[in-house]
Amino acid sequence: MKHGKKVKELIKILILKFLEKENLHGYLLISNIKEITGISVSPSMVYLILSNLKTAGLIEVEKTEDRGKKIYKLTKDGHSFLDKNQAKVEYCMKKSKALYHFHNFGGIELKKALHLAFEEFIDMDDEKRKKIGEIMQKCAKDIRYQIEYGDD
């Protein structure tokens, strides 16, 4: 499964889990996703997923507030989906927690730094490229070592 599909599937499960607990509108769902994962998702992605879930019969609009905000509610089929896919749901909840910790323990900064290095690499002189390359190799080696062996 491609990264984009994995993210959408994770968000789909999170939305269903949030709606299992209480009926919510889109912006509260977006806020809850950020709170549990540490990542910001675009409203367009969330509303597309909500539309797909509604079409699939897993959620419905309970009511629309005065300002046009739709309040979403889990349907019986939505509850059944969560029950039938318990292992997937548990995996997504575990993955959400891992995302939150990854982002808050430096993952965001590392991602930004790697993106910047990639964008600027072509314009760097050879000495700077070599230095950045050494830093990236050491970082990758240290991360792998820590994962495989811990503090031993």
**Which tens digits make up the pLDDT trace of 58-68?**
999 988 777 77
Structure-token pair, residue 144: 């792998």
Q: What is the pLDDT of residue 2?
A: 67
- CA torsion through residues 113, 32, 71, 75, sign: positive
Residues whose CB falls within 8 Å of the CB of residue 74, separated by 6 or more in sequence, listed in order: 16, 19, 20, 58, 59, 82
Q: How far is CA 24 from CA 52, 71, 95, 116, in A?
A: 16, 5, 22, 37
Show me where the domains of the chain are located: 3-93, 105-149
Q: What is the CATH number assigned to the segment(s) 3-93?
A: 1.10.10.10
Q: How far is CA 149 from CA 97, 143, 152, in A?
A: 22, 10, 6
Q: What is the pLDDT of residue 120?
A: 93
Q: What is the pLDDT of residue 103?
A: 87
**Which tens digits make up the pLDDT trace of 113-131?**
999 999 998 999 999 999 9
Q: What is the pLDDT of residue 104?
A: 87
Q: What is the pLDDT of residue 1?
A: 59
Residues of the chain with pLDDT under 50: none
